[in-house]
């Protein structure tokens, strides 16, 4: 199973994103595997809001029609939310989000080790990232 983060979904959709080429290549690769692709409903809300705000409703339609059908959704429970909220407050880091903390909790609970993500918080939490570090454009370009 591979967890898919907002950072990856957005990069697949936005041709101007610095990680677009790596995201498109990795998306094609993961679709070719038998591994289920997991997201949370929090990721879906975050991604939809970001795509709508930055790219518009046509991009949301592409997200809904072409990408979401390939994903398995874990619906965050009250207990998942409470755990994520406690982790967020304990971390005391402004740039770490509730969505991130809920993702980490769900991944651990479901035994998921790999994340398709460009968010460095996943690596900090001990998860393996797709694409591999050498396949990602560093912030600020090459």
Q: How far apart are CA 56 and CA 41, in angstroms?
A: 20
At a CB cut-off of 8 Å and minimum separation 6, what does 85 contact?
98, 101
pLDDT at 37: 98
What is the percentage of the chain residues whose pLDDT exceeds 70?
Answer: 93
* Structure confidence at residue 140 (pLDDT): 45
Closest CA to 116 of 27, 21, 31: 27
pTM (two decimals): 0.91
Domains and CATH numbers, the chain: 13-134 (3.40.50.1010)
For residues 104-131, average pLDDT: 97
Per-residue pLDDT, averaged over 104-117, amounts to 98
């Amino acid at each position: 199973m591979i967890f898919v983060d907002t950072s990856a979904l957005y990069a697949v959709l936005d041709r101007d994103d610095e990680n677009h080429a790596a995201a498109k290549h990795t998306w094609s690769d993961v679709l070719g595997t038998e591994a289920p692709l997991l997201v949370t409903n929090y990721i879906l809300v975050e991604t939809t809001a970001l795509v709508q705000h930055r790219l518009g409703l046509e991009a949301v339609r592409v997200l809904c029609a072409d990408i979401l059908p390939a994903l398995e959704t874990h619906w965050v429970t009250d207990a998942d939310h409470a755990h994520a909220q406690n982790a967020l407050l304990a971390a005391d880091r402004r740039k770490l989000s509730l969505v991130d903390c809920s993702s980490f909790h769900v991944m651990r609970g479901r035994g998921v080790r790999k994340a398709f993500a460009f968010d460095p918080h996943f690596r900090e939490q001990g998860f393996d990232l797709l694409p591999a570090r050498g396949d990602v454009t560093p912030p600020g370009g090459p």
